[in-house]
Structure 1
């Protein structure tokens, strides 16, 4: 069965609005025979007359009125669909799917999302809590647009992975402990520890930090949720190694203290995305870079 062309419906609506084949041809920038052909094709498809002449004016028949009502809605919907797509192409609106760890979502994204909401209110950022590896897999599959991932990462075909920021890793300890001014691997290895689990890049970093000093401590518990780790430290359960992301949350808890590490340890983050991105995604990348980026030598 042949489908009805939107161009034919637009011709019918224009004739009905202006009451004239000739005026419709002028408005649509079509030759008069083309306008006549459009109506003939519609009438053949419907199987009934759609227009009639009354007192020198072209008016719809009863069947024509029914089709006109449907045609107007279809043309409006089609026009709105094109406008919506064009707004996305222009970066005025759209959906951006972003993957990141709980820590990055809690402490690094809020300001960026605030700026995006102010400057690009029609861009919907959908955030998923993911490990770096899951984020990269989904980016490669095309089910994510932007990812905040721990560095370093191996190159992945089709993806751009670039440095974004680095944050110092610090020791978070119960305030009741007698804590030195600077924490070393040897001192910390002898205390109860709450560390990130093996699914995280931070787990590898801290293991290497201890190993470089000849230490291999066994933690009391391993977690992948930094806020839970902070709560356990505040309860006196043990000490933790966490990135200092520039927020005040770690120092606002009176039951904990924060100390720098010696040797220093850094958690590096990168931004990952496809090589070609939509404009809405580029807006997100621009805001992330402007607000939260720290150079590797910063």
Structure 2
């Protein structure tokens, strides 16, 4: 059974509004036989007359009135849907799905999202806490639009990864431990450590930093939530190594932050699908690019 065409419903509405087949034909820029054919097809589909002609005036029948009420709502919904899609194509609105680590979400994204809101208030960014590998996997399957990932990464087919930021990795140490001005692997290895787990790029970089000094310490606690790690450091459970991520002055006096010797860096990249992005995604990428180091 064929579905009812929106074009046929629009013809019915315009005829009812004008009370004339001829006026409807002119308004819709259609030939009069086409207008008549539209109504004939609708009536055949419904199985009853939809319009009556009395003294040259065209009026809807009772069944026609019922269909007209539904038709007006359907046409309004269709017009609204097209307008929403058109605005999204133009980059005025849209939803962008972004994955990042907790540290990037807490300390880097707010600046980009604040600028985006001022320039493109109709764009909604849906932020998900994801590891770099999870972000890349979701980009490949199409359930993510942008991923902030730790470098290096194998982008894989259909994806591109662009270097974004290079942030120093710092030692966060309980203040009563009285750390030196620059923390070395030897000084840190003999103390309780709270580190990211082995699934993260930060864990691999940290292990290489210790290994270069011939040291292979084991973490007392492994977590992937940087703010939770800092809370444990403040409570005296151990020290950690985390990216500075553009943080300002420290507020928790129970923690001191020290640079490392030798220095260590965490590099971030922006991952997305290859090709021209949707405009909303492009606006988010531009906002992020302003935070590039």
**Per the shorter chain, which TM-score range?**
over 0.9
Q: Deviations over 1:57-90 (max 9, x none)?
A: 2111111111111111111111111111111111
Counterpart in 2 of 1:103?
A: 103
Q: CA deviation at 1:49?
A: 1.6
Counterpart in 2 of 1:184?
A: 184
List aligned pairs for 1:1-298, cutoff 5 A. Answer: 1-248=1-248, 251-276=250-275, 277-290=277-290, 292-294=291-293
Q: CA deviation at 1:165?
A: 0.5
Which is worse superposed, 200-209 or 82-91? 82-91
Q: CA deviation at 1:119?
A: 2.3
Q: CA deviation at 1:97?
A: 1.0
Which consecutive unaligned segments of at least 5 residues does structure 2 have? none
Q: Deviations over 1:102-143 (max 9, x none)?
A: 111111111222222232222221111111111111110111
Once residues 68 and 235 of structure 1 are traced to their aligned partners in structure 2, the CA distance between those partners, rounded to angstroms, is 69
Once residues 51 and 229 of structure 2 are traced to their aligned partners in structure 1, the CA distance between those partners, rounded to angstroms, is 75
Whether the 8 Å contact between 2:136 and 2:155 is mirrored in structure 1 is no
Once residues 8 and 261 of structure 1 are traced to their aligned partners in structure 2, the CA distance between those partners, rounded to angstroms, is 73
Once residues 43 and 178 of structure 1 are traced to their aligned partners in structure 2, the CA distance between those partners, rounded to angstroms, is 88
Which is worse superposed, 116-125 or 80-89? 116-125
Once residues 284 and 164 of structure 1 are traced to their aligned partners in structure 2, the CA distance between those partners, rounded to angstroms, is 14
Once residues 39 and 155 of structure 1 are traced to their aligned partners in structure 2, the CA distance between those partners, rounded to angstroms, is 56
RMSD after superposition? 1.3
Which is worse superposed, 104-113 or 160-169? 104-113
Q: CA deviation at 1:174?
A: 1.2
Which secondary structure does the structure 2 equivalent of 1:126 belong to? strand
What is the aligned residue count?
292
Once residues 146 and 216 of structure 1 are traced to their aligned partners in structure 2, the CA distance between those partners, rounded to angstroms, is 35
Which is worse superposed, 184-193 or 33-42? 184-193
TM-score, length-normalised on structure 2?
0.96
TM-score, length-normalised on structure 1?
0.94
Once residues 4 and 154 of structure 1 are traced to their aligned partners in structure 2, the CA distance between those partners, rounded to angstroms, is 50
Which secondary structure does the structure 1 equivalent of 2:191 belong to? coil
Q: Deviations over 1:173-200 (max 9, x none)?
A: 1111222111111222222222211111
Once residues 235 and 13 of structure 1 are traced to their aligned partners in structure 2, the CA distance between those partners, rounded to angstroms, is 71
Which secondary structure does the structure 1 equivalent of 2:81 belong to? helix
